[in-house]
Amino acid sequence: MNRNTLAKAGVALAAGTALALAAAIPASAHVSVSASSTAAGSSAILSFNLPHGCDGSPTTSVDIALPEEIVGATPTVLPGWEVEKVMEPLAAGTTDAHGNEVSERVGRVVYTSTAGGLPEGYRAQFDIQLTLPDLPAGTELGFPVVQGCVEGETVWDGDTLPTVTLTASQGGGHGDDGHGDEEPGAGAQASSGGDVLARGLGIGGLAVGVVGLILAILARQRRTTA
């Protein structure tokens, strides 16, 4: 392979890598959720990450719907945001972790800006502490999110639905009252394309390695023909 062919191959590879990374970055630009624990029946803090506004319009509200298997939830209070737990009746009464009879659950958690909204170009994180349902490993929990803006809104569901996939129960759960004591970082799981950045970095690293190999071959050919 001559130097011209190698040079062209390097340019083509670099261009292809740039296109791959450009495709990966927009795919990650939606609301995602990560969990401090994904073990069935465990206490977890779910972190919902909001990356942008609605077509440039500032975000004024974030409405997070909780799966029907979740009864209690404790949202984090954030400066500049008012938070509300929207309750809904349970089809059948149940008991919480303390043995108290409950007839309603937290169906949605709604954050509303009190400071004019989150401007485009800035991100925010909304944390909710709760107990994950004691369901089989592999069960996927969906958290539809409605992002309200000064102009318009964006609904995150379907292909962009933030999800958490349960792993095997580790025992010692705190019950479904949303008052567990587990700290973030214990086996966090990203979802809704949360691994796109890792894939992009992997592609970039591979491209750098190949380009380096091509440059080394060119240098060796120059020394040989000198």
Across the chain, mean pLDDT equals 76
Contact (Cβ atoms closer than 8 angstroms) between residue 81 and residue 113: yes
pLDDT tens digit sequence for 152-210 = 999 999 999 999 999 999 875 444 444 444 333 333 343 444 444 444 445 455 454 54
Question: Which CATH number is 30-192 given?
Answer: 2.60.40.2230
Fill in the DSSP letter of residue 115: S
Instruction: Identify whether the C-beta of residue 52 lies closer than 8 Å to the C-beta of residue 118.
Output: no
Beta strands in 25-144 (DSSP E): 32-35, 43-50, 59-65, 74-75, 81-95, 101-113, 124-131, 140-142
* Closest C-alpha among 34, 39, 35 to residue 136: 39
Residue 156 near residue 144 (C-beta atoms within 8 A): yes
C-alpha distance from residue 127 to each of 17, 49, 59 (Å): 35, 9, 17
* Distance of alpha carbon 10 from alpha carbon 178, whole angstroms: 54
Q: Does this model's pTM top 0.75?
A: no
Widest pairwise Cα distance in the chain:
87
CB-based burial label for 145 (10 Å; 0-12, 13-18, 19+)? buried
Is pLDDT above 60 for 114? yes
Residue keyed to tokens 């390097």: 10
Q: Are 63 and 149 in contact (CB under 8 A)?
A: no
pLDDT in tens, 58-99: 999 999 999 999 999 999 999 999 999 999 999 877 776 667
**For residue 25, what are the CA distances in angstroms to 34, 155, 158, 202?**
18, 20, 19, 13
Predicted pLDDT of residue 152:
96
Give the DSSP letter of residue 158.
G
